[in-house]
Amino acid sequence: MAEPLFSTAVPARKPFIKWAGGKTRLLAKLLPYVPETIVNYHEPFLGGGAMYFALADRVSKVSYLSDLNEELVNAWLAVSNHRDELEAALEDYRIKDVAGGKDFYLSVRTMEPTGVVPRAARFLYLNQTSWNGLWRVNRWGKFNVPWGNRPFRGLTRDQIDSVSLRLETADIGMRDFRDAVTLAQPGDFVYLDPPYLPISDTSKFYLYTEKRFRAPDLLELAELCEDLSERGVAWMMSNRDTPLVRELFAGHEIVSLTTRRSVAAQNKRDVEPSDSLEAIVIGRS
C-alpha cells in the first residue's frame, strides 16, 4: 500500500457548486498523497473543484482547470470574472424563487439564456434547487432533473469574492482530458476524477454532459497516466474500486478507501451500497 507522504491538514474552503461524486468528504484521506509544493496544477474533470480549493495554496504558478460540461465551466468563469453582475442575477433568482417555487423552477429548466452571467445564474439556480443537487442531461444535452423542493440561497458576496480571489491564477476552460494535460511537466501535479462507469446498464448519472464516458475512455486515461509517469509528472486518480480499474492501472500504487455515496438514485438498480470502495491510484514522479 502507498504510504502518505505529506500533510493531512484540510483547508476549510468548500466548493460553491454541488457536484455528484464531489470529493469534499474524502479530502482528509486524499491530501496526504498530494505533493506539498506544486508548480502548476492540472484538473481535467473539474466538477465542483473540492480538490482544487483544498490545495490551491500549494500551487506556485498556474492552475489549469477544465471540464467538458460547458454550463459548469461557464459558471466558474462567471464567478471568476463577473462578480457584480452575477451577484445581482442570483438575487433576482432568489426573489423569483420565493414567489414561484416549483412553477418557477420548471420554467427555468426549459430556459436557454445566452451570455456568461445569465447562463451561470441559471446553472447555479438549478444546481441548488434540483433534486439532490443533481446535474443530468439527456442525449440531446437538455437538463431534465426534477424539482428538489428546497429554497434557492444563491451565493453571498463574500462567497463570490473568495472564489474569485482564489481563481486569479487559474486558467479555466472547456477541454477534453486528452488535451488538458499536454502542458504538464515535472514539478506539476495532475488530479483526475473522471465520471465513474455506470453500476448498471440503466444508470444515467454519468450523463452530466451529452457525451458519455465509457470503458474505452478509461483505457485512454490509463494510457495518458502512463505517459505522465514517463514524463516525470506526479498524478493521482480517483475512481470506483473495480476489477477493470485495477487491471488498467495495475502498474501503479492503488489505495482502497471506503466512502459513503451522497447521491441517491431514483432507479433502484442504480443504487450503490451506502458504503462503497474508492480506488485512489497514485503516480509518483
67 assigned to a ligand binding site: yes
Helix-, strand-, coil-residue percentages of the chain, each rounded to 5 = 40, 15, 40
CB atoms near residue 207 (< 10 Å): 19
Chain centroid, CA 197 distance in Å: 15
19 assigned to a ligand binding site: yes
Over the range 170-204, which residues count as b (16 or more CB within 10 Å of their CB) and which as e?
Answer: bebebbebeebbeebeebbbbbbbbbbbbbeeebb
* Nine cell digits for residue 254: 492503488
CB atoms near residue 135 (< 10 Å): 22
193 assigned to a ligand binding site: yes
Task: Give Rg (Cα) of the chain.
Answer: 19
How far, in Å, CA of 195 to CA of 191, rounded?
13
3-state class (DSSP) for residue 181:
coil
Q: Write out the binding residues.
A: 19, 23, 67, 193
Q: Write out the binding residues for S-adenosyl-L-methionine.
A: 19, 23, 67, 193
